[in-house]
Amino acid sequence: MALADIFTRPADSAATASPRAFGMRPLGTGLEGLTAWVDDIAALTQPDRIHWVDGSRAENDALLRQMVEDGTLIKLNPEWRPGSYLARSHPSDVARTEARTFIASEREEDAGPTNNWAAPDDIRSTITPLFAGSMKGRTMYVVPFSMGAVGGPLSHIGVQITDSPYAVASIEVMTRVGTDVLREIAGGAPWVKTVHSVGAPLEPGQKSDAWPCNDEKYIVHFPETLEVWSYGSGYGGNAILAKKCFALRIASVIGRDEGWLAEHMLLIRVIDPAGRRYHVAAAFPSACGKTNLAMLKPTIPGWRVETLGDDIAWLRPGEDGRLWAINPEAGFFGVAPGTGESTNQTAVETLWGNTIFTNVALRPDGDVWWEGLTDEAPAELTDWQGNPWTPAMGRPAAHPNSRFTVSAAQCPQIAADWDSPEGVPLDAILFGGRRATNVPLVVEATDWTHGVFLGSTISSERTAAAEGTVGELRRDPFAMLPFCGYNMADYFGHWLKIGQKLRFDRAPRVFQVNWFRKGSDGRFLWPGFGDNARVIDWIIRRIEGEVPGIDSAIGRLPRAEDLDIEGIAVTDADMAELFAIDPASWLREADLTEEFFQTFEGRVPAPLWAELAALRYRLQRA
C-alpha cells in the first residue's frame, strides 16, 4: 500500500491517539519519522524490495502461498487442518538463544547480573556490519503492530522490519497488524523500533534455503532508545520481536518509567457457581503448565474459566486503586508436545485450523502429530526434520520445543471481551514453580510486600535429576529471569512501588502455588490440571473472607477442611504431606535466597531483606 493512501485516509483513531510519550527518547514521530527510519534500514540492509504490510486477508493469503512455493511452508491437508501449515526450521534454530540475548543499557548496572550486558556503542559497531547488506536478494517487510487493542489506554505500538515472511505471518497472528496502527503513528503516537534479519543475503539468482538463518546470532535490546535488533534466527521467540523482546524486555523498562508492569503471566477469568467473576494472573517458569492453567477446565461442578491470555500480561494501577490487566498479544505461540485431549482439550480444539505449526511431525494423511497429542503414536510419520519415523526408533517425532501459532479468537473458551482495551481488574496473582519438596500446594502472602518477596524467590527444578534437591534449583524470580529488561533488583523495587499505588483493600491478593510436590514415595501428591480449580476455589473464598487462613512461618495456609477434595484420590496423609513445612530445609532455602539477593550487590530493596529476616525468625521459632 502506498503511504500516500495512508496520509489521505481520515485520521479517526489518530485524533484520539493517547498522549503517552516516551519522554525525551529519540523516537521517530509521525509518518515522516517512520519513513525516514525505514529508508535508513533499507540503505543499511539493501533489500531487493520493500513491502509495507497492511494486514489484509489477501496479503496474508499471498504471503502463505509464496512460502509454500518457496518450500518454507508445507500446506496441511485441508480436510483435517484447514488453512494450516507446517514449517521445519533449520535444526540449529529451534529455541530462544539466551546466551546471545543482550541488554545494551548505557550503564552495566542497569542491566544487572541476570542479563548479558553490552555497551550500546560497542554492540552497535558489532552488529551494524552484520546488518549491512544482510537483506540482499530478499524482500524487506515493514510491519506496524499494536500490542493491546489499537489506541487502547494500556496499548503500545511498534514497527518490525524483517526479511522473514514466516516472521510476518506469525506477527499477523500474535499482534494487531496494519494500517490502523499507521494512523496512530501518523497521529503522533510513540512507537518502538524493531529490526530483524535472518542474516542470509542472496546472490543474484540464488534460491533461498527453506529456513534461512545464520550461525551467528544477536538479539539486542536498547532500553534507552527503545529499539530491538535481532540477527541470525528465524525462531519465533527471536523473530517475533513484539513478543518476548518488546512486550516483556522493552515493555518492562517502559513500565518502570511509566508506572506499570510487563509480566510473564497468563490471565484468566474464573466464574464461580453463583456467577461471581474473578480475574487471576499467574506467573510460572516454562514447563510448569501455564497454557494448561490458562485454558483450565474445572473439575468442580458449576465453575468455569474463560481464557484471557496465556503468556504475557501488562498490569497498570487504575484510578480506582485496583490493578488492571490486559493481554497485549492476539494469539498463542505455544509448545505442542504435551498438549493433548486429556491434558488440554481446549488447546487441541483451538488448533482445528488456521494454524502455523513449526517442527511438529507430519502424518501420511497430511495432518500433524506430536508427542502427547494422542496416547499412542501413529505407526509412521515424517519427523520434524523431514525424515521417516516409526515409534520403534525411540526418539521424539516432534521437536520438544515444537510450536503452534494460532489466533486467540479461535480458543473455544476465550472470554468474549478478551481484547477489551481497558482490560480487567485483578483479584489474585499467583506465583508458581515446579517443586518436588518444601513448597506447599498453596500459600497466601500476608500482604503485598510479602507477595513481592514470594515472587522474588520463585525457583523451579532444573531437571528430573535435580528434583527434590534444594541446591539444584534454578532461580526464576517472577518467571521473568530471561525477560526483565533492566536490573532485577530494581524490578523488585518497582513491584513494591506499584503496591503503594493500589488501595490496600483493592490490591490483588498474592499466592504461591505448587502443583508438583511429590510424596516420600516419589509420586505426585496432587492430580493437577482441572483439579487445580480446587485451589482457585480456596483462593477465592479467602478473597471473599469466607474462610480463615492459618498463619505459618512461610505464609497463610488453608485449613484441611477448606480445600475441596471430594471425589479425588487425595488422602488425608497426602494432604499432610502437601502442606508439610520442614523448618530445617526452609532455613537452607533462606540461605540460598540470601546468596541470590547478594548477587545484586546491595540493590535488593530493604523491605525484601526484612522479609527474609522475618522468615528466618519465624522458622527458628517454628
Q: Which residue ranges make up the site for ligand OXD (CB under 6 A)? A: 96, 237, 286, 311
Of the candidates 484, 462, 400, 470, the residue with the CA atom closest to the CA atom of residue 438: 470
- Residue whose C-alpha cell reads 494454524 in the numeric block: 355
Q: Residue 143 and residue 562: Cα distance in Å, rounded?
A: 51
Here the cell at position 121 is 556503542
Closest to Mn ion by CB, 38 vs 265, is: 265
Footprint of Mn ion (CB under 5 A): 311
Q: How far is CA 504 from CA 261, 263, 501, 507, 509, in A?
A: 18, 21, 9, 6, 10
Residue nearest to Mn ion (CB): 311
Residue 612 neighbours by CB distance under 10 Å:
18
Q: 554 near 587, Cβ under 8 Å?
A: no
Burial class (CB in 10 A: 0-12, 13-18, 19+), 300: middle
Kindly give the pairing relationship between strand 85-87 and strand 356-358.
Answer: parallel
Is the dihedral angle over the CA atoms 483, 489, 492, 497 positive or is it negative? negative
Task: Identify the CA nearest to 219 among candidates 99, 101, 94.
Answer: 101
420 binds, among Mn ion, ligand OXD, none (CB under 5 to 8 A by kind): none
Q: Which residues contact 257 (CB under 8 A, 6 or more apart)?
A: 22, 23
Calculate the CA 608 to chain-centre distance.
Answer: 26
Binding at 599: pick from Mn ion, ligand OXD, none (beta carbon under 5-8 Å per type): none
Q: State the nearest-atom distance from the C-beta of 123 to ligand OXD, in Å.
A: 23
Rounded-to-integer distance, Cα 534 and Cα 513, Å = 12
Say which entry of ligand OXD, Mn ion, none residue 176 contacts (CB below 5 to 8 A, set by partner kind). Answer: none
C-beta closer to ligand OXD: residue 187 or 237: 237
Residue 85 — φ and ψ, nearest 5°?
-140, 155
| Closest to ligand OXD by CB, 237 or 331 | 237
Closest distance between ligand OXD and the C-beta of residue 297, in Å? 21
DSSP letter assigned to residue 392: G
Shortest Cβ distance from residue 286 to ligand OXD (Å)?
5
Beta-sheet strand order (sheet of 73-75): 73-75, 85-87, 356-358, 403-407, 331-335
Least distance (Å) between residue 311 CB and Mn ion: 4
Among the listed residues 257, 313, 584, the one whose alpha carbon sits nearest the alpha carbon of residue 428: 313
Query: Could you say which of ligand OXD, Mn ion, none residue 96 binds, taking C-beta under 5 to 8 angstroms by partner kind?
Result: ligand OXD
Q: How far is the CB of 240 from ligand OXD (least distance, A)?
A: 10
Of 190 and 237, CB closest to Mn ion: 237
Q: Indicate which residue of 245, 288, 411, 484 is catalytic.
A: 288
Give me the amino acid identity at 614.
A
- Complex with Mn ion: residue 432 or 499, whichever CB lies closer: 432
- Please, which residue, 142 or 282, has the CB nearer to ligand OXD? 282
Please report where in the chains the cell 511509566 appears, as a residue.
258
CB 291 → ligand OXD: shortest distance, Å?
9
Considering the complex, what minimum distance in angstroms separates the CB of residue 244 from Mn ion?
Answer: 7
For ligand OXD, the closer of residues 236 and 440 by Cβ is 236
Q: CB of 444: closest distance to ligand OXD in angstroms?
A: 26
Smallest separation, CB 468 to ligand OXD (Å):
24
111 in Cβ contact with 486 (< 8 Å): yes
Q: Is 164 or 238 the residue whose CB approaches ligand OXD more closely?
A: 238
**The residue type at 260:** W
288 catalytic per annotation: yes
558 binds, among ligand OXD, Mn ion, none (CB under 5 to 8 A by kind): none
Three-state secondary-structure class, residue 273: coil
Closest to ligand OXD by CB, 286 or 354: 286
Are the C-beta atoms of 231 and 130 separated by less than 8 Å? yes
Alpha-carbon distance of 218 to 263, in angstroms, equals 23
Q: How far apart are the first and last CA of the chain?
A: 69
* Partner whose footprint covers residue 499, from Mn ion, ligand OXD, none (CB < 5 to 8 Å by kind): none
Closest CA to 146 of 419, 525, 428: 419
Q: Decide which of Mn ion, ligand OXD, none touches 345; Cβ closer than 5 to 8 Å per partner kind.
A: none
Closest C-alpha among 313, 16, 358 to residue 188: 16
The residues carrying an active-site annotation are: 288
